[in-house]
Each structure stands twice: as structure tokens, then as C-alpha cells.
Amino acid sequence: MEGEGIIKLSKSSVSRYEIEAVTDVMQKEYLGMGLQVKEFEDAIGTYLRTQKPIVCVNSGTAALHLALQSLDIKCGDEVLVPTITYVASFQAITAVGATPIACDVDEESFVIDLHDAKRRVSPNTKAIMPVWYAGDISRREKVYLFAKSMGIRVIEDAAHAFGSEINGEVFGSEGDIICFSFDGIKNITCGEGGAIIFSKEFEAEAARNARLLGVDGDSKKREKGLRSWSFSVNMQGWRYHMSNINASIGIAQLKRIDEFKIKKKLLLNAYINELKKIPGCEIPKFDFEGVFMHIFVILVSENLRDQLRKFLLSRGIESGIHYPPNHKLSFFKTNYILPNAERFAKKCISLPYHVDLSERDIKKISKELRNFFNERNDESQTY
């Protein structure tokens, strides 16, 4: 594009607050896990209005892995998971030696389809891992009722949903286990990072130890800037703790979350207003009221999708596909088909959606979409 920047699908929003926070940690010269991590865990608790134990780790994937491990889910166990998710959800399940049971998705919200999930329950099923696609948490209660009726645990992959609301209240204070991601493009970021909201203190304690190589009680010491020189290890652990640098970015981002929400709502409404007038663009029926939307996804005819992506890119507009179904990947291949998910994956396209977009960007993207579909509609009228 001549001189004009490309419109990115997604990006972090970094203000002077994040830069000041990181500089501050740098100047203190304590970069690893210490005070700021505890401060960030407390800030998350305050934001979610919960006293529940919160454990920060270095990625959303690590959060899912440690959540599974702390429930003692292991080899021989099965976990129900929607096939439409980032591969992280599947990898976290195989990381503990368990088997991910790929399930179909609901046709409206693209979260796990409970009718399909029910068919795939076995005596080995230990948990369900719903993924709040795009941040829509409106099916949460149904998933919990299902899990209760099956006697299984819930590990929420809420990587898309930090800050989403039910009845005007941010969710996170109720539930079994909730995992968030703070990677570079999530609703708020730490650069890289994740958090687990536990409902049982002993499970949180297991995760606190597991994030520090299984060293018993090391988390508590590090909050005070101390280290364990003589210690006991009773479990498999990992190097999953969060650093003070990442935590300080998270603290700064959390202070901006209301501003992010307002901006993203504005962009969302701008998109909906423009796109509802374009035949060929289908806007999913999400719960737009409560969702703090992470990605903006539309559905188009499957024989036009890849063409549209190329067309947009030629106009300087990035797009994405969230997600190719995991049950088609060779490592996770199933011998059954998941029709809704397979159809969805051919039709979905994610449009640029991040805090630093302007309404003008949305107008430009919409104009290009209109151009694309006008050309196609004209052609289709010639026979």
C-alpha cells in the first residue's frame, strides 16, 4: 500500500503507563517472580470481586495445564473440549497425559455443543473444558448444569473472556476453575501471562508449587523477595511462574480495562451498523450485551472466504481464521466428523479488532467488504 499502513488484525495497546510500570521494575532490579506478581494476583481478585485463590503463571496454556494437573487429571482420563479453539486447549490436556475428546460446537455461539458432548461421555470422562469463544459467556450456566449432571469438573478456557459480564457484573467470582490468558493480543495483556481462579485452596496450593518446579512453599517466599535453599519437592513441577516484568504490564493494563471496553464496544457497534447492510456478511448472534469481545468474527459463503481474505489483504487489511478444527490436526485426529465445527471453520473470518483501531478504519474495512460483495452479487445476477 502506498505509504498507508496495513490495518492489523490485532495488536497490544501500550501506553506510557505500561512503559512506566516496566521501567519501575527494571530500576528495582528484581525482574523475576516477586512482589509485583502478588500485587497483580490481588488486583485481579479485586477486579473480579472475589476472595478466591488466584495463581498467575507465564501463559494461558500453562494455566490450563496446571489447572488439569491440580485436579489430578492424568493418563487414562478424558476431557471434553470443543474442536473450535486454539490448539493450546488440546495441548494442555495431552500435557498431563489425558485424552482430549473433541466435541462439536453450538451453531449460534460456537461454544461446546452439549448434545454432542453428552454422546462422548465415558466412564473415563473427568472434566469438560468449555471455551468462551470470542468472549461470549452466556452459555456458562448450561455447561455447569451439564457438568453437575455428569459428575465431572469444569475447567473454563476463558482466554477470550477476561472482563466479560453477566447481568452487568464481571464474571470470575463463581465457578469451578477459570483460566485466563494475558498473551499479547488478549483483552488485557502482560506481554505473556495467564491466571487460574481456583475454588479450592488445596488445588491452588498445588498449582502454586507446580509453577515453581514443585518446590514446596517457594511462592510465598518469593513474594517477600526470598528464596528456598533447602526445600522439599513432592510433585512434578514446571517453570511456569510469572515474572515481575510481565506482572507490572498486567497491573497497568488492568487499570485501563474500562477504557478498553468502551472503545471496543464502540468499534463493535460501528462494525454491526455497517455490516448488517451488506448481503453476504453474516454477523453471529453473540450475546453482545455482556461480552467483552476478544475477536470480531463474521461468516461468509465458504467458496468466497479465502478469496475475501486475499482481497482484503490486497487492500491492506489483515484477517484471521479462529480456528481450524483441532480434530483435523494429525496429532489430535478423530475418526468421526463434527459437522457444525467443520462448516463454521470454512465460513469464519476474523476482521481487525483491537483497541487502537479507529471508526475510520472500520468504515474503510466495511467499504472494501461492500466492494467485494457488490462485485460478486452483480456477477451472480447475470445468469
Ligand X SMILES: *Cc1c(COP(=O)(O)O)cnc(C)c1O
Q: Given the rule CB under 6 A, which residues bind ligand X?
A: 59-61, 85-86, 88-89, 131, 157, 159-160, 181, 183, 194
> Which C-beta is closer to ligand X: that of 206 or that of 295?
295
> Which C-beta is closer to ligand X: that of 89 or that of 164?
89
> Which C-beta is closer to ligand X: that of 84 or that of 212?
84
Residue with cell 511462574: 241
DSSP letters, 93-152, are: HHHTT-EEEEE-B-TTT-SB-HHHHHHT--TTEEEE--B-GGG--TTHHHHHHHHHHHT-
CB of 237 to ligand X, least distance (A): 18
Q: And the C-alpha cell for 15?
A: 501506553
- By beta-carbon distance, which residue lies closest to ligand X? 60
Separation CA 57–CA 95 (nearest Å): 16
CB of 275 to ligand X, least distance (A): 23
CB of 81 to ligand X, least distance (A): 10
Residue pair 99/78 in contact (Cβ under 8 Å)? The answer is yes
CB of 232 to ligand X, least distance (A): 29
> Which C-beta is closer to ligand X: that of 85 or that of 219?
85
Nearest to 341 by CA among 330, 319, 326: 326
Separation CA 160–CA 137 (nearest Å): 10
> Which C-beta is closer to ligand X: that of 83 or that of 219?
83
Residue pair 30/11 in contact (Cβ under 8 Å)? The answer is no
CB of 375 to ligand X, least distance (A): 33
Nearest to 70 by CA among 152, 155, 130, 148: 155
CB of 233 to ligand X, least distance (A): 25
> Which C-beta is closer to ligand X: that of 152 or that of 159?
159
